[in-house]
């Protein structure tokens, strides 16, 4: 999932998904026009808007602290966390691998809701301390909302449907009982999907009975939950099926490469139309110096094809666009998803030993799934 990079904490890249801007606006708006006017009718609309924006901003920070707590525990348990992407009502901490045992999973899963509960308590104490002073009403109103929203975050995340924290707790318990992560994930994800449907139906019911804003939020959350449950299961199944499979087992050798001095028009004529691959390694003598993809060819204006060479159009070789033959297939797939490249060179000591496509990996996945492995 692509996001906008914000900053780094604990060595983790914090990013926000593009949807966050829309969601931020919607939250600020629904607070300023719904929640705060209903609870603090004596305040001016501009005060409601200030509270709305601050409320949305501190909600963002609360979600971030929740996610960071998960990541902090995960790191202490020996799992690497590279990035946290924040979006609607939560985030996705991108663990590079699944927890090794159910006990670790349980600790990581419970950390987030616990931090939200602690935040709720802190905001509630501050709310009680300020609620009696009339000139602090703007602050106490905000603090009261933050106590409420953090409590809601804790409760929402404890819903027992995977990939929510509660679903992870359920998965860990079931995993401990059966010893099968796959089976535990399937069940937790199935429950997650049904809870998603339930929340959508509840939201529709509310919309029909006049609670437009509340109902609208429930429908969005329900849809989000349903697809996240599906996606989370898919991820686990992919990782399981590709476990222990190495890049060199799936790559094709007998690589067709191109020299950097080749003109683009010759490249198109003699390679793209003749061999039908979308990416070629560019070789200078024995060494790979770059790759050229169809996307880059299309970036060169057609009337310059007879002047420009592969060297001018190619992507110079770097770590992100090459693979190690002894590397894991699942990491190769992740690299392809991250870079958006469907075909990457497999390189050993600067020499290309093969090429691997997303299709090569997905075919194996399909076969394994069909065989019911
Ligand atoms: Zn969480």
Across the 373 residues of the chain, what is the mean pLDDT of every consecutive 10-residue run? 76 80 86 85 86 90 90 85 69 59 87 95 93 81 92 90 86 88 86 92 92 85 85 78 84 87 90 86 89 89 90 88 87 81 87 88 80 64
Q: What is the 3-state secondary structure (H, E, C) of 165-197?
A: HHHHHHHHHHHHHHCCHHHHHHHHHHHHHHHHH
The pLDDT value recorded for residue 122 is: 96
Residue pair 140/131 in contact (Cβ under 8 Å)? The answer is yes
pTM value? 0.69
- Ligand 1 centroid–CA 167 distance in Å is 10
The pLDDT value recorded for residue 125 is: 95
- Ligand 1 centroid–CA 224 distance in Å is 15
- Ligand 1 centroid–CA 156 distance in Å is 9
**Closest of 325, 313, 315 to residue 350, by C-alpha:** 325
* Mean pLDDT rounded to a whole number for the chain: 85
- Ligand 1 centroid–CA 89 distance in Å is 10
- Ligand 1 centroid–CA 342 distance in Å is 32
**Closest of 217, 224, 189 to residue 202, by C-alpha:** 217
The pLDDT value recorded for residue 200 is: 94
- Ligand 1 centroid–CA 334 distance in Å is 23
The pLDDT value recorded for residue 98 is: 65
- Ligand 1 centroid–CA 306 distance in Å is 55
Residue pair 79/105 in contact (Cβ under 8 Å)? The answer is no
Alpha helices in the chain (DSSP H): 19-30, 36-39, 45-76, 102-130, 137-157, 165-178, 181-208, 212-242, 247-250, 264-267, 273-275, 294-299, 310-313, 329-339, 358-370
Residues with Cβ < 8 Å from 25, sequence gap 6 or more?
Answer: none
- Ligand 1 centroid–CA 308 distance in Å is 51
- Ligand 1 centroid–CA 25 distance in Å is 23
Cis omega before residue 163 (within 30°)? yes
- Ligand 1 centroid–CA 84 distance in Å is 12
- Ligand 1 centroid–CA 20 distance in Å is 17
- Ligand 1 centroid–CA 183 distance in Å is 22
- Ligand 1 centroid–CA 140 distance in Å is 26
- Ligand 1 centroid–CA 348 distance in Å is 40
- Ligand 1 centroid–CA 236 distance in Å is 18
How many Cβ atoms are within 10 Å of 367's Cβ, its own excluded?
A: 11
- Ligand 1 centroid–CA 70 distance in Å is 7
- Ligand 1 centroid–CA 159 distance in Å is 11
- 163 by DSSP, 3-state: which? coil
- 99 by DSSP, 3-state: which? coil
């Amino acid at each position: 999932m692509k996001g906008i990079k914000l900053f780094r904490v604990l060595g983790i890249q914090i990013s926000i998904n593009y949807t966050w801007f829309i969601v931020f606006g919607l939250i600020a708006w629904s607070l300023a026009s719904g929640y705060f006017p209903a609870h603090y009718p004596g305040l001016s609309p501009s005060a409601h808007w200030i509270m709305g924006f601050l409320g949305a901003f501190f909600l963002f920070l609360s979600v971030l602290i929740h996610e960071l707590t998960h990541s902090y525990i995960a790191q202490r348990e020996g799992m690497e966390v590279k990035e946290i992407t924040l979006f609607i009502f939560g985030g996705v901490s991108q663990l590079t691998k699944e927890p090794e045992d159910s006990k670790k999973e349980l600790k990581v899963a419970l950390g987030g809701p616990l931090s939200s509960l602690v935040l709720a308590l802190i905001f509630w104490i501050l709310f009680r301390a300020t609620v009696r002073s009339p000139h602090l009403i703007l602050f106490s109103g905000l603090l009261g909302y933050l106590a409420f929203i953090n409590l809601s975050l804790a409760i929402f995340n404890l819903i027992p449907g995977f990939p929510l924290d509660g679903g992870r707790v359920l998965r860990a318990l079931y995993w401990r009982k059966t010893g099968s992560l796959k089976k535990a994930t399937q069940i937790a994800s199935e429950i997650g999907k049904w809870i998603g449907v339930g929340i959508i139906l509840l939201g529709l019911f509310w919309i029909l009975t006049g609670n437009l804003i509340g109902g609208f939020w429930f429908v969005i959350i329900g849809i989000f939950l349903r697809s996240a449950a599906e996606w989370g299961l898919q991820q686990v199944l992919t990782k399981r099926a590709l476990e222990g499979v190495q890049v060199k087992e799936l790559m094709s050798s007998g690589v067709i490469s191109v020299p950097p001095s080749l003109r683009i028009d010759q490249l198109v004529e003699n390679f793209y139309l003749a061999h039908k691959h979308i990416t070629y390694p560019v070789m200078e003598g024995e060494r790979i110096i770059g790759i050229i993809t169809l996307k880059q060819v299309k970036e060169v204006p057609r009337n310059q094809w007879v002047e420009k060479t592969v060297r001018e159009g190619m992507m110079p070789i770097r770590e992100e666009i090459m693979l190690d033959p002894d590397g894991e297939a699942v990491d190769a797939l992740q690299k392809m998803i991250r870079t958006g490249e469907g075909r990457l060179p497999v390189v050993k000591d600067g020499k290309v030993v093969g090429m691997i496509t997303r299709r090569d990996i997905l075919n194996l996945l399909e076969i394994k799934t069909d065989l019911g492995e």
